[in-house]
A and B are shown apart, each in its own frame.
Chain A
Amino acid sequence: MQASDPVLDIRNLRAMLPGEAGPITLLDDVSLSVCAGETLAVVGESGSGKTMTFRCALGLAPAAARIVAGQVLLEGQDLTSLGPEAMRERRGAVISMIFQDPLTALNPVFTIGSQIAEVIRAHRRIGRAAARALAIDVLRRVHIPDPARRVDDFPHQLSGGMRQRVLIGMAIALNPRMLIADEPTTALDVTVQAQILELLTELRRESGMGMVLITHDLGLVARHADRVAVMYAGRVVETGTVDEVFARPLHPYTTALFRSIPSLEGAAAEMLPAIEGQPPMLADLPPGCAFAPRCFLGRDRADCRTIRPPTDAAVQGTHVSACLHANLIAAEAA
């Protein structure tokens, strides 16, 4: 494997869920990759598939969901072909995921030290004392003050920010090659958010692991990611470097999203240019482009309303969009 090969390479992933009126497509031809030392941000709204993609990749999807096509290559090995036991061995050791809510992800009746030690002992054959020493070291790495004493704290004795640090510690305890952070700071104050993301960036730099940052906050993407993928209704509609996508979006959804968020700078206009309507239900997707009914370009275009665009309908080097009319965006959006 070469240095530039992606650590995680999701190829054409398609996942279905049985529904009352026929199967529902949760993920439609999702391709994403992350290299060592790189941060990929995955942006989208509820139901866009941003969390589902990685739950499927890690074998954590709801029981009824089925991967029907595609591959999830982790350091070249396809995870979709692994049994549950082999998957469990990799999860937490080679690839880890941290979730949004640090309140519910920790068990209230065990000390944080014993919960970190448990993760370590599930993958490594070491004694309790050695695992405890490693747990203290992990707490030090995530900058929990006085770790030798804090190791015996219960979750309720810690603030929300400190709990999220513990969860990050559990995720990186075994030095994974890949860390998936799913809205890691959504439940936290902006000051704590800044501290947590600074910590994640520091850990990534030290270890050279790849990172996926699942978020709805475009500011976090701008500050912390190298590349970004925008998802809508189960598909990746745009990918590129952060500079490419922010400077010149190639998908109308991305353009409209940027315009609709209030900013700390510039004129505070009376009305925000909102995206009208609701994101579609996955069980009831329109026939063409899923964004067409809300799109300033596609709303009245017959091709957008009838043809499902390929995910690489527009390509400019590393910048890829699933829009049939990407060349018109800059002019129409102005």
Chain B
Amino acid sequence: MQPLLQIDGVTKSFQRRGGRFGMRVSQVHAVDNVSLMLREGETLGLVGETGSGKSTLGRLVLRLVEPSAGRILLAGRDITMLPRRAVRALRRDVQMVFQDPYGSLDPRMSVGALIAEPMVVHGIAKAERRERVQDIVHRVGLDRRHLDRYPHEFSGGQRQRIGIARAMVVSPRLLVLDEPVSALDVSIQAQIINLLRRLQRDQGLAYLFIAHDLAVVRHVSDRVAVMYLGRIVETGPRDAIYARPLHPYTVTLLSAVPLADPVRERSRQRVMPRGEIGSATAIPPGCRFHPRCYKALLAAAQGAARSSADPTVPALCAEHDPPLIEAASNHLVACHFPELAGAEPIA
């Protein structure tokens, strides 16, 4: 079956002026040759640290930013070459939900007008608009009485329901959710996650779920992709990624999340993260993760030929950018030593 969304070798570079007087121009790859696909009704979780490029990738799918190279296909149609007018029509099929419901809602518009607004943009007739607003309000767990009120009268969780209603009201096929629950209180997070799952089940729509919270992503996703400095470093079925992570970055991320169980926490072996992600303006040579990688250190210690520039890591890691290749069924990893023995720090 044809995938709903296909991202095909997409790169987004920004030009950056550096040096004295800004005379030196360098290319910064925020998203670097990324390929992903998403099926109808499926959730793909996209994780990574700040600066990994995951939000930029989400914006590329909506054409809020233009790709520098590569193609994005929606239901088989290349949307990267669409003229401006057609982009508007595209947005009926692909909608976005933002992290901060406060920032994305016009405070002067009533909730009813806010939810109807995307339909005005798409030229849906007034009578139908009213009907759809009534319907969606109910489905996102708000009340008809709420329609005449203004965003400031609502709590964070209710505002996110309004944001979801706005996205859902034009019946999209794909929702790009950028940290949709990370600004919410714990008890409200669960409500919104449940709402998203219910809507997905009822409508059969697909989610590109961008988040830094690995437990939330595990809960909602069918498949997961892990991004690091613009690249997908690992992707696969949810249970494979969480039960048997192959990329040392994925292992490091999972290991950094504390479990809500003091007994397990005390006996757990984990990798202490080294350094910070840094910036896409200075991507390390070879494997971009190698300066922070525990597997690189282990591989060198176990006898892999060492790099002359940095003898603590293998030459392979310091000099060669690993391709993303299939290591197990549908499980892809970009690492020179994915199966390295003695490197299983997660208990």
**Bound-complex Cα distance A274 to B189 (A):** 8
Q: Are B190 and A45 in contact (CB under 8 A)?
A: no
Of residues 221 through 258 on chain B, the ones whose CB sits less than 8 Å from some CB of chain A are: 238, 242, 252-258
Report the nearest A residue to B221, measured CB to CB.
A268
Contact partners of B259 in chain A: CB under 8 A: 219, 222-223, 263-265
Of residues 268 through 291 on chain A, the ones whose CB sits less than 8 Å from some CB of chain B are: 268, 270-276, 278-279
A219 touching B190 in the complex, CB below 8 Å, given contacts A192-B276, A246-B262, A264-B242 = no
A222 touching B262 in the complex, CB below 8 Å, given contacts A273-B190, A278-B157 = yes
Of residues 147 through 161 on chain B, the ones whose CB sits less than 8 Å from some CB of chain A are: 155-158
**Bound-complex Cα distance A198 to B219 (A):** 27
Instruction: Give the segment of B170-178, B191-199, B308-316 that binds chain A.
Output: B191-199
**Bound-complex Cα distance A7 to B258 (A):** 28
Using a CB–CB cutoff of 8 Å, the interface residues on chain B facing chain A are: 49-50, 155-158, 185-191, 193-194, 197-198, 212-216, 218-219, 238, 242, 252-265, 272-273, 276-277
Q: Are A264 and B215 in contact (CB under 8 A)?
A: yes
Q: Are B187 and A45 in contact (CB under 8 A)?
A: yes
Report the nearest B residue to A276, measured CB to CB.
B191
A272 touching B193 in the complex, CB below 8 Å, given contacts A219-B260, A222-B258 = yes
Q: Tell yes or no: A81 within 8 A of B by CB.
A: no
Q: Are B193 and A261 in contact (CB under 8 A)?
A: no
Tell me, rounded to whole Å, the shortest Cβ–Cβ distance linking A142 to chain B.
14
Q: Which of B157, B190, B253, B272 has the most CB of A within 10 A?
A: B190
**Bound-complex Cα distance A159 to B193 (A):** 31
Binary per-residue interface labels of chain A (156-197) against chain B in the complex, 1 for a CB within 8 Å, 0 otherwise: 000111100000000000000000000000000111111100
**Bound-complex Cα distance A221 to B213 (A):** 16
Q: Are A222 and B265 in contact (CB under 8 A)?
A: yes
Contact partners of A263 in chain B: CB under 8 A: 215, 218-219, 259-260
Contact partners of A99 in chain B: CB under 8 A: none
Q: Are A271 and B197 in contact (CB under 8 A)?
A: yes
Of residues 200 through 234 on chain A, the ones whose CB sits less than 8 Å from some CB of chain B are: 216-224
11 A–B contacts from the bound complex (CB under 8 Å) = A189-B49, A193-B256, A220-B258, A223-B259, A243-B262, A246-B263, A260-B187, A261-B190, A262-B218, A264-B215, A268-B238
Q: Are B212 and A217 in contact (CB under 8 A)?
A: no
**Bound-complex Cα distance A67 to B261 (A):** 36
Query: Of A46, A194, A224, A271, which contacts B194 at CB under 8 A?
Result: A271
Q: Are B194 and A45 in contact (CB under 8 A)?
A: no
Q: Are B155 and A278 in contact (CB under 8 A)?
A: yes
Tell me, rounded to whole Å, the shortest Cβ–Cβ distance linking A15 to chain B.
21
**Bound-complex Cα distance A243 to B277 (A):** 34
**Bound-complex Cα distance A272 to B186 (A):** 12
Contact partners of A275 in chain B: CB under 8 A: 187, 190-191
Query: Of A159, A224, A268, A279, which contacts B187 at CB under 8 A?
Result: A279
Chain A at the B interface: SS class: helix
Interface size class of A (residues with CB under 8 A): 35 or more
Contact partners of B260 in chain A: CB under 8 A: 218-219, 221-222, 246, 258, 261, 263
Contact partners of B256 in chain A: CB under 8 A: 190-191, 193-194
Report the nearest B residue to A243, measured CB to CB.
B262
Q: Tell yes or no: A24 within 8 A of B by CB.
A: no
Contact partners of A219 in chain B: CB under 8 A: 257-260, 265
Other A-B contacts than A189-B50, A194-B258, A246-B262, 20 sampled, CB-CB below 8 A, are A45-B186, A161-B276, A162-B276, A189-B277, A190-B49, A193-B256, A216-B185, A247-B263, A257-B186, A264-B257, A268-B219, A271-B197, A273-B190, A274-B187, A274-B190, A275-B190, A276-B191, A278-B155, A278-B157, A278-B158
Tell me, rounded to whole Å, the shortest Cβ–Cβ distance linking A271 to chain B.
5
Q: Are B218 and A264 in contact (CB under 8 A)?
A: yes
Q: Are A217 and B194 in contact (CB under 8 A)?
A: no
Q: Tell yes or no: A72 within 8 A of B by CB.
A: no
Q: Tell yes or no: A242 within 8 A of B by CB.
A: yes
Report the nearest B residue to A281, measured CB to CB.
B155
Query: Of B186, B198, B214, B258, which contacts A260 at CB under 8 A?
Result: B186
Query: Of A192, A217, A243, which contacts B263 at CB under 8 A?
Result: A243
**Bound-complex Cα distance A168 to B174 (A):** 43
Contact partners of B213 in chain A: CB under 8 A: 190
**Bound-complex Cα distance A194 to B271 (A):** 10
Q: Tell yes or no: A256 within 8 A of B by CB.
A: yes
Contact partners of A161 in chain B: CB under 8 A: 276
Tell me, rounded to whole Å, the shortest Cβ–Cβ distance linking B164 to chain A.
15
Contact partners of B186 in chain A: CB under 8 A: 45, 216, 218, 257, 260-261
Contact partners of B264 in chain A: CB under 8 A: 222
